[in-house]
Structure 1
Amino acid sequence: MSTINSAHSIAEQLASAKRQLQVSDSAALDSRLLMCQVLQCESVYLMTWPERELNTAQLLAFEQLVAQRKAGHPIAYLIGYRDFWSLRLQVSPATLIPRPETELLVETALALSLPEQAHVLDLGTGTGAIALALASEMPNWHVTGIDKSVDAVTLAKKNAQLNQLPQVTFKQSDWFAHVAQTRFSLIVSNPPYVEDDSVYLQQGDVRFEPASALTSGPDGLDDIRLICAKASSYLTPQGWLAFEHGHQQALGIQALLAAQGFSQIRSVNDLNGQPRITLGCLAV
């Protein structure tokens, strides 16, 4: 029986990576995700075969991924996907990484009283996360996602196929520029809403994400102002407009909606008790 070189085993490499990644608050999870990426396996395999040795190529690949993670590269970009809602979505540096807090926008939209065959528009769709999550729950809805980035639209279409939701339409458009004059029962958006000079831009994953998908003027509301001003032309009577936004922006967005004739305006708090979603209904 050959002697196992434990320094090259899955268990030892995971322990080494965890020590290196202590800068992350999810060092153990990150290590496992990176190992699964290298071995193309599920996490249960790591627990079942901790003594298995990595070959030279696998060791090098794992070390490179750990070094990138240690330098701050988002785990989602390194492994190529992020789980969102009930979906697994491919990601790329062309789009924002879907975040758990955005699921609140999906929950809020699903709780609305909408027609059975509702037409829904997702503005700034990125990976397609919101559009695909809504379509996965409401198969009779007609969901369209648009994004200014051609690369993002290509990725969203791929995610639709991978999650067996080919009925969702994705197209390139700078906000409403190329949206047909369809009337939607619901428009949802997780638009750029970070202030141009925010210190947040120098922290965590956002350092590696596209700035154009993050920032929107001195107060972060430039794109939301534009959407509020134009949305009424694309909504049915009593149609809804809903945004995800920063925790200090709710009152400003409520005022923008009111100024454009929306009613039933309200904000929804996230799990931290901070207002994260604001929505309004187009008055008849």
Structure 2
Amino acid sequence: MKKVAIITGASSGMGKSTAFKLNAKGYKVYGMARRTDKMDDLKAKGMEVVSLDLTKDDTIVEAVNTVIEKEGRIDVLINNAGYGSYGAVEEVPIEEAKRQFEVNIFGLARITQLVIPKMREQKSGRIVNISSMGGKIYTPFGAWYHATKFALEGWSDCLRIELKPFGIDVVIVEPGGIQTEWGDIAMENLNKVSGNGPYAPLVNKVISASGKNKDKLTEVSVLGEEIAKAASTKKPKTRYLKGFLAKPLVTMRKWLGDSTFDKILMSQMK
């Protein structure tokens, strides 16, 4: 019997790459996203495509019920969907800040709640939460995004302890800089929100620094393989840190004081 895997945010980037990797490993993959038209390549490989909007509870319930009705089981949930809302704290509308949490935390939590009962019934399962090195470090103008990822780290740690007695693993993947549309979208949002006004000088430096590092970013397939490994290996680690600058930055943040890390971080914004 094939193991069944749900992947949110499977229409692009790491989610799509992971879908192909798990499909190749013999999993029955359900790719979920708002942009179902972007997943025809998944269908072509025999994967299932399901519409999902993490800001709408009815679509979350319907998506999970679809899998349970068709398969009768869920072995893996990969919470990959998310985005980065960048801008000065003073200038990001609170409604947008709430949406950032709705997608990156509350929508993620809701689909997890709906999957857990089936995994408990099976006495087995794997929940893989895609966090970020941004759940351990910080960057200028990323306050709301980093807040969601810091929250996801602690939330996942608590969930891991709660679900261990039921044979369910909870794993965190912390990507560094990856070649996806994520960075471009985040910088576009930053420029739109804070590109004019009191924060403009630093905004321009942040956007410029982001552009200079584009050719150094890790290929998305590397993260797809890492996520697939976290989802399928017999004895997973609790955390997987992978991608451009992930290990050095998280290590520096762990061992250096706040002021020193601030200086190192801002020295790159030129």
Specify if TM > 0.5.
no
**Which protein is richer in helix relative to its size?**
2
**Which protein is richer in strand relative to its size?**
1
Which structure carries more relative contact order (alpha carbon 8 Å, separation 6+)?
A: 2
Q: TM-score, normalised by structure 2?
A: 0.42
Q: TM-score, normalised by structure 1?
A: 0.40
Between structure 1 and structure 2, the one with the greater Rg is 1
